[in-house]
C-alpha cells in the first residue's frame, strides 16, 4: 500500500501538478486502494471490538483455550415478542401461557425485528447469526416472513427460521421465490423441531414414539431438496428435539435415522421448567447431561469430543463439529492429538473473527493477506489436513463424499433457578450460594441473547423465557388482540 502511494505521488510530481484531471485521478485511485485495503482486512475493526467486549464479559471459568466466544464468535442472536403465537400445544412448552392470545401481525414483526437488529448491529458488530424465533414462524404470511429475513440480512445477520416444520412446499416456494420464478434468496436456513412432546402435527397429532415422526422429518428435508432442484436455492437445515425422561432412550435411534436425511445439525434440548406450567409433565431435573450426551454418542457411533471447541459455558452447551464419511462420523479436530489443539490455537490467533460467509473473492483476498503475513499458517493447515486424511482413510474419502454434521446439546435452566441469580446480577452482586453462583456464571457466558432496544440490554435467552416473556406477551395481547368471534344472531321465532 505504501509503495503504491509512493508510485502515485511520483507520477503526480512528474506531471508537474498542473493537471487538474490527473490530480483527480490520483485521488480516485487512492480512494479505491484505501477502500480495497479496508475491505480485505482479516477482521473488521468493529468485529474485533465486539469480540474483545464479549471476551471481557466471560467469567474466568469460561476463558479456556477451547472457547470460541470472544475469539471467533459473539454467540447466537434471537428475536422475541415478534410473533409469539403457535398452533401446536407441546408438552412442555417454553412459551408463556399468554403467548397464544397475541395476533400474528406482519407489520409488527418487521418493525420489532428492525429495532432489535439495530441494537445487535451496534453491540455485536457487522455480522452475526440470528434466529427468527417466537411462536411458529410459518403463521406469518410468506411475504412477511421474507420481509423479516430481508431486514435481518440488511443488518449483516444470517437468519435461521425456527419452525415445527408442519407447512407445505407451496409456502416454502412463495417464501423463497418471487412470483415470476426468480429466486428471492440464494441460501436459506431453517431449524425444524420434531419430537413426541409436540401436539398438533398434521398426520401425527399425538405421536407416542419418535419413529412415528421419521416420515415427517424426511418430508421436511425433501421440500428443501426440491426447492434447490427447481429454483437453485441452497439451504442449511438443523433438527431440534426436546428431550424428556419419556423419550431420552430414543435419542440414539433418532440420530441414526436422521443423519442421512439432509440435516447438517442435530440439536437436543433437555427439558426445563420454563414457560407454561400447565404443560409440564415429567421430572425434568432427573435429566443428566452426561447421560443425554452418551445417548447422542451412541447414535453417532462413537465419541463426540465437546471440549476441544466450546461455545459459552460447557454446563449449558456441548458442541461437536465434524463430518460423516459413509456411516462413520469424524471430529473436525482430534481431541487427543496435541498438534490438532495447537492448530486450533493458531486458528484463533490468526483467523479468529474472519467472516467466512463473505463473498468468495473477498474471503479469498482476506485469507491471502493473512497467509502472506504469516506463512506458517499454511504449513499448519496442511499438517492438519494430512492428519485428517490419515484418520479418515484415503480410500474411504474416494468412496464417500464427506457430509458435514454438527451435534449440539443445549441445556436451558429452570425458571426458579434463573430468577434469584438474575436479580443479583442486575444489582451487580455475586451470590454466596454455590448453586446460584453457577447460574450467574452460566448466564454471564450465555451464547444466545435477545435484544431489548428500550433498555439497550442484550438479555440471555433463559432470562427472556423465564422472567420477561409473560409480561411482554400480556402487553402484546393488548396491542395485538386476537379477532373476536361473533356470536350467531338468533333466528326470530316464526308465528
- Give me the residues paired with residue 268 across strands: 241, 409
Nearest residue to 187 (alpha-carbon basis) of 137, 238, 154, 224: 224
Nearest residue to 413 (alpha-carbon basis) of 383, 388, 446: 446
Kindly state the DSSP code that residue 204 receives in the 8-state scheme: B
Nearest residue to 451 (alpha-carbon basis) of 429, 437, 466, 468: 468
Using CA atoms, how far residue 110 sits from 146, 161, 180, 461, in Å, is: 10, 14, 24, 21
Can you state the angle between helices 376-392 and 360-373, rounded to 10 degrees? 110
Tally the domains of the chain.
1
Taking residue 60's Cβ as centre, other Cβ atoms within 10 Å add up to 7
Cα of first residue to Cα of last residue in the chain, in angstroms, is: 98
Residue 343 lies inside a defined structural domain of this protein: no
Name the burial class of residue 71, with classes exposed (0-12), middle (13-18) and buried (19+) by CB atoms within 10 angstroms of its CB.
buried
Residue 488 lies inside a defined structural domain of this protein: no
The reported pTM is 0.91
User: Residue 460 has what pLDDT?
Assistant: 97
In three-state secondary structure terms, 73 is strand
Helix, strand, coil % (nearest 5) of the chain? Answer: 50, 15, 35
Q: In whole angstroms, what is the distance from residue 416 CA to residue 161 CA?
A: 29
Using CA atoms, how far residue 42 sits from 39, 46, 154, 351, in Å, is: 9, 12, 21, 7
Give the tens place of pLDDT for each residue, 33-91.
Answer: 777 877 888 898 999 999 999 999 999 999 999 999 999 999 999 999 999 999 999 99
Among the residue ranges 2-11, 275-284, 352-361, 457-466, the one predicted with the least confidence is: 2-11
Kindly state the DSSP code that residue 177 receives in the 8-state scheme: B
CA pseudo-torsion sign 46, 51, 52, 57:
positive
Residue 366 lies inside a defined structural domain of this protein: no
Chain length of the chain = 495
Pairing of strands 128-132, 328-331: unpaired
* Domain around 288: 57-337+402-479
User: Residue 487 has what pLDDT?
Assistant: 59
Residue 434 lies inside a defined structural domain of this protein: yes
In three-state secondary structure terms, 403 is strand
Whether the Cβ atoms of residue 413 and residue 436 lie closer than 8 Å to each other: no
Whether the Cβ atoms of residue 409 and residue 270 lie closer than 8 Å to each other: yes
The C-alpha cell at 95 is 412459551
The C-alpha cell at 422 is 438474575
pLDDT band at 446 (very low <50, low <70, confident <90, very high): very high
Residue 314 lies inside a defined structural domain of this protein: yes
The C-alpha cell at 227 is 426447492
CATH number reported for the structural domain that contains residue 169 in this entry: 3.20.20
User: Residue 11 has what pLDDT?
Assistant: 47
Taking residue 108's Cβ as centre, other Cβ atoms within 10 Å add up to 18
Give the tens place of pLDDT for each residue, 459-481.
Answer: 999 999 999 999 999 999 999 99
Residue 134 lies inside a defined structural domain of this protein: yes
User: Residue 97 has what pLDDT?
Assistant: 83
User: Residue 132 has what pLDDT?
Assistant: 98
Distance of CA 397 to the CA centre of its chain: 29
Among the residue ranges 255-269, 290-304, 324-338, 353-367, the one predicted with the least confidence is: 353-367
Does residue 110 have a pLDDT over 60? Answer: yes
Mean pLDDT, range 176-194, rounded to an integer = 97
Whether the Cβ atoms of residue 166 and residue 205 lie closer than 8 Å to each other: no
In three-state secondary structure terms, 240 is strand
In three-state secondary structure terms, 360 is helix
Give the tens place of pLDDT for each residue, 283-303.
Answer: 999 999 999 999 999 999 999
Phi and psi at residue 341, in whole multiples of 5°? -65, -35
Distance of CA 388 to the CA centre of its chain: 27
Cα atoms in the Cβ-side hemisphere of radius 13 Å centred on 62: 28
Name the burial class of residue 358, with classes exposed (0-12), middle (13-18) and buried (19+) by CB atoms within 10 angstroms of its CB.
middle
Residue 357 lies inside a defined structural domain of this protein: no
Among the residue ranges 88-102, 389-403, 414-428, the one predicted with the least confidence is: 88-102
User: Residue 293 has what pLDDT?
Assistant: 98
Q: In whole angstroms, what is the distance from residue 68 CA to residue 73 CA?
A: 6
* Percent of the chain clearing pLDDT 70 (strictly above): 94
pLDDT band at 495 (very low <50, low <70, confident <90, very high): very low
Q: In whole angstroms, what is the distance from residue 473 CA to residue 40 CA?
A: 44
Residue 220 lies inside a defined structural domain of this protein: yes
Sequence-distant (6+) residues with CB within 8 A of 259 are: 266, 299, 300, 324, 329, 405
User: Residue 276 has what pLDDT?
Assistant: 84
Does residue 196 have a pLDDT over 60? Answer: yes
**In whole numbers, what is the pLDDT of the chain averaged over residues?**
93
Q: In whole angstroms, what is the distance from residue 460 CA to residue 445 CA?
A: 9
Cα-based angle 293, 410, 456 (whole degrees, multiple of 5): 160
User: Residue 38 has what pLDDT?
Assistant: 79
Whether the Cβ atoms of residue 392 and residue 297 lie closer than 8 Å to each other: no
DSSP assignment string, 349-375: HHHTT--TTS-HHHHHHHHHHHHHH-T
Amino acid at each position: 500500500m505504501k509503495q503504491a502511494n509512493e508510485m502515485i505521488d511520483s507520477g503526480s510530481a512528474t506531471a508537474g501538478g498542473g493537471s487538474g484531471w490527473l490530480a483527480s485521478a490520483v485521488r480516485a485511485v487512492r480512494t479505491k486502494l484505501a477502500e480495497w485495503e479496508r475491505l480485505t482486512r482479516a477482521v473488521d475493526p468493529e468485529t474485533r471490538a465486539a469480540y474483545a467486549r464479549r471476551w471481557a464479559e466471560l467469567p474466568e471459568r469460561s476463558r479456556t483455550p477451547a472457547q470460541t466466544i470472544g475469539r471467533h464468535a459473539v454467540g447466537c442472536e434471537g428475536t422475541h415478542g415478534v410473533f409469539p403465537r403457535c398452533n401446536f400445544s407441546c408438552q412442555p412448552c417454553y412459551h408463556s401461557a399468554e403467548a397464544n392470545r397475541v395476533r400474528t401481525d406482519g407489520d409488527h414483526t418487521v418493525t420489532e425485528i428492525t429495532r432489535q437488529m439495530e441494537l445487535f448491529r451496534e453491540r455485536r458488530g457487522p455480522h452475526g447469526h440470528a434466529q427468527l424465533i417466537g411462536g411458529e414462524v410459518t403463521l406469518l404470511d410468506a411475504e412477511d416472513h421474507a420481509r423479516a429475513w430481508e431486514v435481518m440480512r440488511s443488518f449483516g445477520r444470517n437468519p435461521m427460521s425456527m419452525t415445527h416444520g408442519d407447512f407445505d412446499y407451496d409456502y416454502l416456494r412463495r417464501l423463497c421465490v418471487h412470483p415470476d420464478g426468480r429466486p428471492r434468496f440464494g441460501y436459506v436456513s431453517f431449524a425444524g423441531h420434531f419430537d413426541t412432546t409436540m401436539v398438533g402435527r398434521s398426520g401425527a397429532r399425538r405421536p407416542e414414539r419418535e419413529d412415528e415422526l421419521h416420515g415427517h422429518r424426511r418430508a421436511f428435508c425433501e421440500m428443501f431438496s426440491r426447492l434447490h432442484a427447481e429454483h437453485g436455492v441452497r439451504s442449511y437445515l438443523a433438527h431440534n428435539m426436546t428431550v424428556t425422561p419419556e423419550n431420552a432412550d430414543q435419542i440414539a435411534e433418532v440420530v441414526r435415522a436422521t443423519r442421512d436425511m439432509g440435516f447438517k445439525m442435530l440439536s437436543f434440548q433437555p427439558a426445563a421448567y420454563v414457560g407454561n406450567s400447565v404443560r409440564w409433565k415429567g421430572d425434568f431435573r432427573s435429566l443428566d447431561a452426561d447421560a443425554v450426551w452418551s445417548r447422542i454418542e451412541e447414535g453417532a457411533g462413537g465419541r463426540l469430543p465437546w471440549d476441544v471447541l466450546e461455545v459459552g459455558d460447557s454446563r449449558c452447551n456441548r458442541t461437536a463439529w465434524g463430518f460423516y464419511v459413509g456411516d462413520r462420523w469424524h471430529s473436525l479436530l482430534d481431541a487427543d492429538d496435541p498438534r490438532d489443539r495447537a492448530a486450533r490455537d493458531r486458528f484463533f490467533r490468526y483467523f479468529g473473527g474472519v467472516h467466512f460467509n463473505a463473498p468468495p473473492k473477498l474471503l479469498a483476498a482476506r485469507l491471502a493477506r493473512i497467509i502472506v503475513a504469516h506463512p506458517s499458517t499454511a504449513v499448519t493447515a496442511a499438517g492438519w489436513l494430512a492428519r485428517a486424511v490419515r484418520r479418515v482413510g484415503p480410500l474411504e474419502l474416494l468412496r464417500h463424499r464427506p457430509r458435514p454434521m454438527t451435534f449440539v446439546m443445549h441445556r436451558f435452566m429452570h425458571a426458579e433457578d434463573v430468577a434469584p441469580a438474575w436479580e443479583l446480577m442486575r444489582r451487580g452482586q455475586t451470590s454466596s450460594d454455590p448453586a446460584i453462583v453457577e447460574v450467574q456464571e452460566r448466564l454471564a457466558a450465555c451464547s444466545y441473547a435477545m435484544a431489548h432496544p428500550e433498555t439497550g440490554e442484550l438479555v440471555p435467552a433463559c432470562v427472556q423465557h423465564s422472567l420477561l416473556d409473560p409480561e411482554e406477551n400480556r402487553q402484546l395481547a393488548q396491542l395485538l388482540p386476537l379477532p373476536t368471534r361473533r356470536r350467531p344472531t338468533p333466528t326470530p321465532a316464526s308465528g
